[in-house]
Chains A and B, each alone.
Chain A
Amino acid sequence: MALPQAKQTATEARLAALSLPEGGWSGPARAEALDRVRAMGLPGARDEYWKYTRPDTLVAAEAPVAKVVADDEVPLFDGTDRLSIVFVDGVFDAEASDDLTLEGLTIDRLADAPDIHWAKDLYGRLETHGQTPVQRPLAALNTAFASDGLLIRVTGKVAKPVNLIYRHADERSDVILHHVVKVEEGGDVTLLENGPAAARLNKVMEVDVADGAGFHHVRVQGREHDRRAATHIFARLGTESTFKTFTLTMNGVLTRNDCVVELTGDDAVAHIAGACLGDGDFHHDDTVFITHDAVNCESRQVFKKVLRNGGVGVFQGKILVKPGAQKTDGYQISQSLLLDGDSQFLAKPELEIYADDVACSHGSTSGAIDEDGLFYLRARGLPRGIAEDLLTIAFIAEAVMEIENEDLQAEINARVEAWLGRRRG
């Protein structure tokens, strides 16, 4: 079917501003992805899955300017023994990064991966698969035009986390990054991500978790005010595998995080969690799609949004249970803490179930700060501001506790506390 004229024009304008990288082994996948983009067109305001989030600045030919903010905080995960890999405006910075060798995994750059590469069978594959039943044109655009990214193959249990650090230096940077992570049977890895990355970031991460493997992901999206980001995670889970991801977002004028997970092997576990804190000109959208296509799998979605001064939070979460995916245990909760009357939370939970022996639940709430809790803390001598901060941390706790590592939990809570403290003045 032909695209509406306006959509086609917008799509071509964006494509005209980009050039297809050389590609090598990824060339065919990129060409196919470009075809997909042309067939779907880039997101427009009338698309069902962009009803609550305006895509125009994400698809415009040029990225809106985003002021670079000097961050005076101690860098995230500084106290964690990790392998650091730095990208500056989307370009790998070898000098700032650690040596890329670590027992249990291999890491290559997408930009200079050798001619024949294991990732050939994966690059763009999970993204393509994730285009049905909901189209995700920005992800296809990413597969076609990604200029850099990492190809991580995990063959064993990796002793320390891999930390991708995204620095932002140019107020006009427009970055497309594409990572592929393949966790092989019995492998286990923790991936940390942090930083604002660019004025505008389009990032895709494809994660293939084999039987019995584990993937743990903690991400903190940079707290620059003007930055924009559209990210996708596409994950495929094998038998008895584990996939856990947590995202903290503070600031950023526009963030859209899509997470598309397919449980294809029996007894697999997927936990997707997120917490965001937004003040003022802040729009944050979590869009999650979980497909249960195997027996006795568990999925959990836990999303918490703290909004004030007109901040907007969106949650679109779907659980699809395919025929035969019996004994599915699906849980979904999305909650917002609205600290004033100007802020908004829009939630669209969806369940679609074609098996008869499943337990799926979903819930969504919006509310103000808990008055009983506030009184309790104040009665112990805590000034109102500090008491409200502690209750805010309490509110997002269910999401933060989805992180298995308690030190990382503490680090996330400390960041949130610092953010709240700065706002309290």
Chain B
Amino acid sequence: MLEIKNLQVKLEEEDKQILKGVDLTVEAGKVHAIMGPNGSGKSTLSYVLSGKDGYTVTDGSATLDGVDLLEMEPEDRAAAGLFLAFQYPVEIPGVGNMTFLRTAVNAQRKARGQEEMSSTEFLKVVREKAASLKIDAEMLKRPVNVGFSGGEKKRNEILQMAMLEPKMCILDETDSGLDVDAMRLVADGVNALRDEGRGFLVITHYQRLLDHIKPDVVHIMSNGRIVKTGGPELALEVEQNGYADLVEEA
């Protein structure tokens, strides 16, 4: 599904190499986790895949179901089925959460040549999905992320993911700033979306999130490369010994 080959990326402004040849394949139906110390390039990878400005790809490729992602505008990548749950979701005052969700859902449908969702159908679906994430009507009405707690923002990200039904989901440190209960809610939301047609790339510092979202494959990233790949046991190893050993081994 998601295929990344020898991806090399520089910061546009500083001429600094961040990714130094990342190879990674996420198959449909699988959950891959990327762990790694601060500054290893995890978030950069998620931004480059989803099309944020400020990075220059100097070599390599990234495709989603064979389609070149790197040449596409961010909105086209989204319509192609890529979703990034942000580490820091942005606040948009004056724009209701519900309006935003419907605009996003219908923009993607339009881009894919599908019919727009009617407002009654949309309402029904959004209420159902919001309820399972404990997002109430009041939160749906409020401006996007404005005055939301850390946990509410992350739940709102998962709600967007549930509504947009992407093929490939990237979660960028979705666990940061969450207490145990909020993490469980978010994880339940993610787990409910796991199915055979959908791939996940879960970026995290800690093993904790992976207790709730069980990965099939764990990668360790360090200094712009994937330095080790293994099963869930790799995450436990990190939890016990830290990153130092793994990074040195590599």
Contact = CB atoms under 8 A, between A and B. Distances in A.
A386 B107 contact: yes
Interface in A364-381: 370-373, 375-381
B90 A373 contact: yes
Given A375-B52, A376-B86, A382 B92 contact: no
B53 A375 contact: yes
Contact of B93 (A372, A377, A397): A397
B111 interface: yes
Contacts of B90: 370, 372-373, 376-377
A378 B94 contact: no
Given A375-B53, A390-B100, A384 B73 contact: yes
B50 to A, nearest CB: 5
A397 B143 contact: yes
Contacts of B73: 378, 384
A394 B74 contact: no
Given A390-B95, A393-B95, A379 B78 contact: yes
A396 B94 contact: yes
A373 B52 CA distance: 11
B93 A394 contact: yes
Given A386-B103, A390-B103, A397-B143, A379 B93 contact: no
Contact of B74 (A375, A393, A397): A375
Contact of A379 (B84, B94, B100): B84
Given A375-B74, A376-B86, A378-B74, A400 B94 contact: yes
A379 to B, nearest CB: 5
B233 to A, nearest CB: 33
Interface string A392-411: 01111110110000000000
A380 B53 contact: no
Interface string B77-116: 1110001101001101111000010011001100100000
A393 B144 CA distance: 12
B75 interface: yes
Contacts of B22: none
A379 B79 CA distance: 9
Contact of A382 (B51, B93, B94, B104): B104
Contacts of A379: 50-52, 74-75, 77-78, 83-84, 86
B160 interface: yes
Contacts of A378: 51, 73-75, 78
A109 B94 CA distance: 38
Contacts of B53: 371, 375
Nearest to B161: A380
A109 to B, nearest CB: 38
A394 B83 CA distance: 23
Contacts of A398: 93
A380 B160 contact: yes
A373 B93 CA distance: 11
A384 B74 CA distance: 9
Nearest to A398: B93
A169 B84 CA distance: 53
Interface in A46-71: none
Contacts of B108: 381
Nearest to A412: B94
Given A386-B103, A397-B93, A381 B111 contact: yes
A380 B94 contact: no
A370 B75 CA distance: 17
B171 interface: no
B133 interface: no
Interface of B: 50-53, 73-75, 77-79, 83-84, 86, 89-90, 92-95, 100, 103-104, 107-108, 111, 143, 160, 164
Given A372-B90, A377-B92, 6 more contacts: A375-B52, A375-B74, A380-B100, A381-B75, A390-B100, A401-B94
Interface of A: 370-373, 375-384, 386-387, 390-391, 393-398, 400-401, 413
Q: Which 6 A-B pairs have the closest CB atoms?
A: A397-B94, A381-B78, A378-B74, A381-B108, A397-B93, A376-B90
